[in-house]
C-alpha cells in the first residue's frame, strides 16, 4: 500500500517564530547541551538551513543562518558551502546568501504549483483582464493555504499574502473553499484547533465556521469580508481535478464595501460571483474535471475559435 498521501498528519504547523530554537519546548532555559532532542540527520540540518529563509528574510549572512537553523557556525559553514556549490543558495557580492536559481528550478517542477499554474494561467489572465483587481490561485497543504499564483493590479487592494506564502484556512476565501472540500478528518482537526483572529470580523467559532463551510459547499463559492484585512473582500470558487476532487481554489480580492475608507469606486462583490465561478470551472475543465466538462456549452467563454 503506497498510502501516505491522504491521511496527512497536518505537517507540523510551520515551526515557531524564527530565531527561537527548534528543539522541543522544554523551557528549562539551560543550555541543554546534553538534554535537548534534535533531528540529527544531515538532511534535517540542510532543511533547517533552507527554513531559515522566508519572505522577510531573503538574504542572510552565515552567522544569521547558523543562528536561525540552530547550528554551530562551523557546521553551517560547511553545509552552506555545499548548498552554494550546487546552486541551492547563491552568495551575493555583499557576502549574504540568498536562495539560488537552481533550487527554484527544481521547485518549479512541483505539479501542485507550477503544473497547476501553467494550465490555469490563460484563464487567470482573462479573469484578471475582466476585473483588474487581485486574482489568486491557491492549494491546501495541511492546515494552511499556499498561494500558487497571483495577478495583482498596481491600483488594487494591497494584500498580505504572497506567492509561495502560507495562511491559515479559516479566514481566507480560498481557504474556506479548500477546507469545505477537504477530507472530513482534516476539517475536524482544523475545527478542533484554537483558530487565530486577525480582525474583529474573523470567524473563529467552530460552530459558525461549520455553518460557513456548509454554505460554501452548497453555493460553490466562498465570500470573505474583512477577515484578514478589513479593507479587503474576497470571493473564491473551487477548482477540480481529473477525479473531480477539489485540488485548488481561485479567488478575486476587491476593496471591501463595508470598509468605510478607501472602497469608493469599488465593485459590487455580488457581480464577481459568476465570473469567479466560471473561471474556476474553466480551469477545472482544462485539468480534465468531469463535471466541468459536462456543462461545456454554458461555461465556454468568448466566441468559439474557428
Partner DNA sequence: TCCTTCGCTTCCGGTGAACGGAAGTCAGCC
Partner DNA sequence: GGCTGACTTCCGTTCACCGGAAGCGAAGGA
Positions touching a copy of itself (CB under 8 A) are 2, 4-6, 11, 41-44, 46-47, 50-51, 53-55, 58-59, 79, 82-84, 86-88, 90-95, 98-115, 118, 121-122, 125, 128-129, 139, 141, 146, 151-155, 163-164, 166, 305
Q: Which residue, 45 or 166, is less far from DNA as judged by CB?
A: 45
Considering CB distances under 5 to 8 angstroms, the limit depending on partner class, which of a copy of itself, DNA, none binds residue 53?
a copy of itself
Q: Which residue, 84 or 191, is less far from a copy of itself as judged by CB?
A: 84
Residues 6+ apart with CB under 8 A from 120: 137, 149, 239, 248, 250, 283, 286
Considering only 5, 29, 34, 43, the residue that binds DNA (CB under 7 A) is 43
How many CB atoms within 10 Å of residue 149? 20
Considering CB distances under 5 to 8 angstroms, the limit depending on partner class, which of DNA, a copy of itself, none binds residue 163?
a copy of itself
Looking up cell 475543465, which residue turns up?
A: 285
Residues 259, 140: Cα–Cα separation, whole Å: 28
77 binds DNA (CB under 7 A): yes
SS3 labels along 112-126: HHHHHHHHHHHHHHH
CA dihedral 195, 197, 202, 206 (to 10 degrees): 20
C-alpha cell at 270: 455580488
Residues 226, 233: Cα–Cα separation, whole Å: 6
Considering CB distances under 5 to 8 angstroms, the limit depending on partner class, which of DNA, a copy of itself, none binds residue 284?
none
Residue ranges binding DNA (CB under 7 A): 1-2, 40-45, 61-64, 71-75, 77-79, 95
Amino acid at each position: 500500500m503506497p498510502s501516505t498521501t491522504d491521511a496527512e498528519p497536518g505537517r507540523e504547523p510551520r515551526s515557531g517564530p524564527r530565531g527561537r530554537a527548534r528543539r522541543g519546548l522544554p523551557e528549562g532555559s539551560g543550555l541543554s547541551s546534553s538534554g535537548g532532542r534534535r533531528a540529527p540527520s544531515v538532511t534535517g540540518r540542510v532543511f533547517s538551513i533552507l527554513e531559515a529563509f522566508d519572505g522577510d528574510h531573503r538574504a542572510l549572512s552565515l552567522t544569521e543562518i547558523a543562528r536561525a537553523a540552530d547550528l554551530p557556525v562551523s557546521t553551517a559553514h560547511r553545509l552552506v558551502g555545499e548548498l552554494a556549490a550546487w546552486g541551492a543558495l547563491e552568495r551575493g557580492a555583499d557576502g549574504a546568501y540568498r536562495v539560488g536559481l537552481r533550487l527554484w528550478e527544481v521547485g518549479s517542477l512541483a505539479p501542485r504549483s507550477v503544473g497547476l499554474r501553467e494550465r490555469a494561467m490563460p484563464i487567470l489572465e482573462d479573469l484578471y483582464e475582466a476585473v483588474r483587481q487581485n486574482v489568486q490561485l491557491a492549494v491546501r497543504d495541511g492546515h494552511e493555504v499556499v498561494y500558487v499564483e497571483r495577478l495583482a493590479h498596481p491600483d488594487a487592494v494591497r494584500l498580505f499574502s504572497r506567492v509561495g506564502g502560507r495562511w491559515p484556512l479559516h479566514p481566507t476565501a480560498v481557504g474556506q473553499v479548500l477546507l469545505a472540500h477537504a477530507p472530513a478528518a482534516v476539517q475536524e482537526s482544523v475545527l478542533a484547533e484554537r483558530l487565530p483572529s486577525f480582525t474583529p470580523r474573523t470567524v473563529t467559532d467552530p460552530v459558525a465556521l461549520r455553518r460557513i463551510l456548509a454554505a460554501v459547499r452548497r453555493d460553490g463559492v466562498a465570500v470573505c469580508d474583512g477577515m484578514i484585512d478589513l479593507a479587503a473582500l474576497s470571493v473564491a470558487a473551487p477548482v477540480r481535478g481529473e477525479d473531480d476532487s477539489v485540488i485548488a481554489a481561485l479567488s478575486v480580492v476587491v476593496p471591501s464595501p463595508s470598509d468605510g475608507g478607501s472602497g469608493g469606486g469599488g465593485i459590487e462583490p455580488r457581480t464577481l460571483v459568476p465570473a469567479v465561478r466560471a473561471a474556476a470551472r474553466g480551469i477545472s475543465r482544462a485539468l480534465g474535471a468531469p463535471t466541468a466538462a459536462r456543462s461545456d456549452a454554458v461555461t465556454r467563454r468568448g466566441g468559439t475559435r474557428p
